[in-house]
């Protein structure tokens, strides 16, 4: 069902559990208070009905329907529209999975539109309902709780990436260079994508804090938002450090691969030198033997008593001379 949860709150307490959007709108009109509507992969019609009821800005509605938005915060009059990129680390594949969450905030409503299973907003709602005093502070309290949940869920993702980076550092001087380069590159891409989700939160939270006094945000909520900002900044610093480590690892790995290739090439050159040297040494006797093997009649050495020993001596002298020459040049 696209509607995950829908409720009306008065003084921080849930008073109704409407089963449809129409009932939610009716209960809001009858009781006042704040409505919190949670949608998961809603249809265009459902989003447009909510947009018409709360006068949501068309550009924000368009973004919510299209999805694949970058993390951002935009204000339309007294209403806020936030796009968040929650994430989770998948141990089985050692990869990061990103979600997308759109949050509409008004004076008396909160509408969340998710395009993935994360984050678990039921947990956020349950935590707020257990703290009516906080929930009574209105939609800004819900936005704070959602931001806090998203940033908290970044911790296990950062730890998973840190473990992957540690493994790469352990493998750097022993693993296959090509495969390791591919793994480093893939991990660097995940860190970059994670940075794109985390880093905009700094500007978003700072913007919320700058406008807190103007829009009458509770002082305790301001303190809570600063705490979330601190966590977001720490995550950003961790990712910057991980990215620097991966850049260095990629450089070191490329250097090691080049050195191994150079060593292999030099070793092959040494082998070629040895083979060429021995081939040259054997070429001398082969040439002399081939000449005498022609058996021409007019070859005085054939009738000479010392002709055969001379040919053997010439072969030996030629081979020895070549061997000494190549040995002096360190070919052999």
Q: pLDDT digits over 211-226, tens only? A: 888 778 888 889 999 9
Confidence label for 299 from pLDDT (cuts 50, 70 and 90): low
Domain boundaries, the chain: 3-258, 265-328
Q: What is the mean pLDDT of the chain?
A: 83
State the DSSP string of 112-175.
EEESSS-S-HHHHHHHHHT-HHHHTT-HHHHHHHHHHHHHHHHHHHHHHHHHHHHHHHHHTTTS
State the DSSP string of 92-104.
TTTEEEE--EEEE
What is the average pLDDT across 246-250?
85
Distance CA 4, CA 6 (A): 7
Task: Please report the pLDDT score of residue 57 as a whole number.
Answer: 92
Looking at per-residue pLDDT, the higher value among 172 and 40 belongs to 40
Task: Please report the pLDDT score of residue 285 as a whole number.
Answer: 67
Answer positive or negative: Cα dihedral of 180, 183, 187, 188.
Answer: positive
Q: CATH fold of 3-258, please?
A: Beta Polymerase; domain 2 (3.30.460)
Confidence label for 1 from pLDDT (cuts 50, 70 and 90): very low
Distance CA 316, CA 328 (A): 18
Q: Could you tell me what percent of the chain has a pLDDT over 90? A: 36
**pTM to 2 decimals?**
0.76
Distance CA 287, CA 168 (A): 57
Confidence label for 296 from pLDDT (cuts 50, 70 and 90): low
List all residues 6 or more positions away from 32 whose beta carbon is below 8 Å from its beta carbon: 10, 108
The mean-pLDDT minimum among 10-19, 63-72, 288-297 falls in 288-297
Task: Please report the pLDDT score of residue 177 as a whole number.
Answer: 59
Task: Please report the pLDDT score of residue 135 as a whole number.
Answer: 92
Largest CA distance in the chain: 133
What is the average pLDDT across 131-137?
92
pLDDT at 156 over 90: yes
Tokens of 108: 């008396």
Task: Please report the pLDDT score of residue 287 as a whole number.
Answer: 63
Distance CA 121, CA 27 (A): 22
Q: Which residues pair with 38 in a beta bridge?
A: 5, 112
Q: pLDDT digits over 308-327, tens only? A: 676 677 777 777 776 777 67
Distance CA 253, CA 171 (A): 10
């Amino acid at each position: 069902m696209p509607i995950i949860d829908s409720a009306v709150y008065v003084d921080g307490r849930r008073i109704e559990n409407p089963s449809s959007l129409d009932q939610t709108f009716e209960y809001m009109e009858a009781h006042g208070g704040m409505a919190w509507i949670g949608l998961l992969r809603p249809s265009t019609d459902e989003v447009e009905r909510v947009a018409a009821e709360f006068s949501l800005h068309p550009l924000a509605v368009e973004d919510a329907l299209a999805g694949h938005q970058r993390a951002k915060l935009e204000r339309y009059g007294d209403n806020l529209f936030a796009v968040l990129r929650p994430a989770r680390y998948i141990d089985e594949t050692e990869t990061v999975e990103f979600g997308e969450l759109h949050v509409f905030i008004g004076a008396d409503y909160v509408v969340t539109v998710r395009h993935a299973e994360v984050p678990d907003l039921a947990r956020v709602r349950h935590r707020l309902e257990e703290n009516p005093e906080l929930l009574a502070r209105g939609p800004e309290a819900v936005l704070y709780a959602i931001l806090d949940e998203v940033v908290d869920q970044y911790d296990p993702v950062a730890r998973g990436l840190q473990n992957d980076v540690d493994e790469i550092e352990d493998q750097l001087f022993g693993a296959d260079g090509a495969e390791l380069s591919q793994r480093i590159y893939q991990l660097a891409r995940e860190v970059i994508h994670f940075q794109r989700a985390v880093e905009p939160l700094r500007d978003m939270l700072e913007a919320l804090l700058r406008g807190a006094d103007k829009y009458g945000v509770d002082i305790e909520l301001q303190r809570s938002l600063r705490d979330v900002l601190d966590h977001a900044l720490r995550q950003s610093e961790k990712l910057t450090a991980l990215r620097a480590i991966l850049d260095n690892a990629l450089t070191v790995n490329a250097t090691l691969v080049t050195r191994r290739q150079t060593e292999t090439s030099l070793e092959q050159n040494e082998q070629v030198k040895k083979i060429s040297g021995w081939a040259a040494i054997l070429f001398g006797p082969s040439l002399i033997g081939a000449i005498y093997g022609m058996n021409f009649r007019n070859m005085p050495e054939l009738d000479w008593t010392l002709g055969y020993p001379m040919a053997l001596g010439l072969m030996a002298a030629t081979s020895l001379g070549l061997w000494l020459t190549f040995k002096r040049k360190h070919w052999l």
